Structure 1
């Protein structure tokens, strides 16, 4: 498997790139597999005194040629929040591995538990969304000014191979066609955001396992595809059923969501007070993104040469693409 092939080469890579000296690691450091996502494989490199995350990037959801540098630069900008990992090394040359490399801080803790940690996440979001956007940020980050139109374009791109594939049931294709038409018919509501712009740095992948809850501090990790856009992007995704059900079987109550919003607003610096309305308007467009990504990922999983395959992920993708699940999820809108 790819993760084993890479692990066997990391020590040689570290020696060739003089990483031991750069990170003050002892020469007898160890490499261990940590975790993998759809487009990254993560290891720890450690000795008796130091421990880091060695991240191997295998693809780009944003279709960027220099994906790992984009993530590195984003994390550098976010360090001021003190709720994201510090970065120490980036290599985008691909002259040893065929993939980009990022070395960052190893953070101790556990994934977020909705029963215990929901409001800790609210405070994390408020700290990140309190970072004032500067002129240079608009040059460094992807900027989404039209979040309804951007979700429609993104979904169409993701669904392209799904619509073309003969192995997809016609009922599933028809559901997405109808959903897409509803989104097109209602995108005029985006004027709410364009007439009252509010820009922050969004993570865009805020499931429970991208949070690390520690004894003293808590963090949001996995900054592979951040964008500058309305804060409803991250808050809607975090609260949505497609997110809370992804790694757990949890659905948030109205009271939990209301307290979440209240804490977010209390901790936020220089923010607006209409986050509930923004989340409500954006929710169906977020669901389109989530479901169209599942459709895209399902097609990818049909390729026997796919670099990374997580069977638990495939099982969840297939659950979300079931017609009954999608119809129930979107029954409020159409």
Structure 2
């Protein structure tokens, strides 16, 4: 498997490049598998005194040729928040590995639990969304037209799915109708343009991308951050497509209300009607989530796919259930 091949090469790479000296770890360090996503594989570098995460990038959701450098620069810019990991090393040459790599801080803690940690998550979002984007340079992609961007993204992700002979007609019709609805209602976007509020968004805020520690808590996995309206992250964090993903949990109205109150109270710049923004953006968030599931489902049918996570595949199939998708859009379509 790819992760086993990479593990064998990581120690050789760190010793050959003498990176262990910069990291101040003993040359007898160990390399162990940590976790993998759809577009990355992560390992722990450990000399029993200090730990780091060695991250290998295998693809780009943003379709970037410099994906790992984008991620590195984003994490560097975010360090000021105090709720994201520190990053120490990047190599995008692909001379030793066939992939870009970076080394970052290992953070102790556990994944977020929705019934316990909503207030902590709200405060993390508030700290990140309070960063003055005028002080961080131009290292982030900027999304001005969040509804139009989701439509374009949906069309791109769904192109092969809608043309595939192995996808059933009912599912194809659902996505054709969804795209048509999104096109007809893209004027929702005018609200965000007229009432501009731009912050740094993570765009992948599931429970396992939070590290909840005894003293501090963090938001990790900055693979595809953008500058855009904060409703991107807040909508995604609260949506069933996110809360069911790793934790099989659906937030109550009271839990959402308490989250909003804590988030608003913790913002440096004050609230600019986040609740209304979330309501307007929700169907476009679902378009992104469900279109990605359709795209990923088709990718999983390929025998040469580098990373295959069967838990992810089962969740994708659950989300592509026609009744589940219709329930998400009740009140919109």
TM-score range, shorter chain: over 0.9
Say which SS state the counterpart of residue 34 (structure 1) adopts.
strand
Cα distance in 2 for residues equivalent to 1:135 and 1:255: 36
- Choose 127-136 or 220-229, whichever is displaced more: 127-136
Q: Partner residue of 1:333?
A: 332
Q: Give 1:101's aligned residue.
A: 101
Within a 5 Å distance, the mapping from 1:198-217 to structure 2 comes to: 198-217=197-216
Give secondary structure in 1 for the equivalent of 2:133. coil
Aligned position for 2:74: 74
CA distance in 2, matches of 1:136, 1:44: 29
Question: 3-state DSSP class of the match of 2:35?
Answer: strand
Residue aligning to 2:55: 55
Match of 2:296 in 1: 297
Counterpart position of 2:34: 34
CA distance in 2, matches of 1:28, 1:249: 40
> Does the alignment pair 1:110 with 2:110?
yes
CA distance in 2, matches of 1:222, 1:3: 18
Is 1:12 matched up with 2:15? no
Residues 47-92 of structure 1 show CA distances to partners (whole Å, capped at 9, x for unaligned) of 0221100000000000000000000000000000000000000000
SS at match of 2:218: strand
Provide the residue aligned with 2:83 in structure 1: 83
Contact 2:34 2:44 in 1 (8 A): yes
Query: Deviation string for 1:171-214 (max 9, x for gaps)?
Result: 10000000111111111121111001000000000000000000
> Deviation of residue 273 (structure 1)?
3.3
What's the CA shift string for 1:101-142, capped at 9, x where partnerless?
1100000000000011111100000000000111763x3211
**2:141 match:** 142
Structure 1 position 332, deviation (Å): 1.7
Query: Which stretches of structure 1, 4 residues or longer, exceed 4 Å deviation after superposition?
Result: none
Hey, what's the Cα distance between the residues in 1 that align with 2:53 and 2:201? 22
| d(CA) in 1 for partners of 2:14, 2:245 | 35
- Asked if the contact 2:201/2:226 (under 8 Å) is kept, the reply is yes
| Aligned mates of 1:34, 1:6 — CA distance in 2 | 12
Give the 5 Å matches for 1:230-249: 230-249=229-248
Task: Quote the RMSD (CA, aligned, Å).
Answer: 0.8
**Aligned residues of 1:265 and 1:273 also touching (Cα < 8 A):** no
TM-score (norm. length: structure 1) = 0.98
The residue aligned with 2:92 is 92
CA distance in 2, matches of 1:329, 1:134: 36
Kept in 2, the 8 Å contact 1:68–1:101? The answer is yes
- In the TM superposition, residue 271 of structure 1 has moved relative to its aligned partner by 3.2
Distance across 1 between alignment mates of 2:94 and 2:188: 44
SS of 1:201's equivalent in the other structure is strand
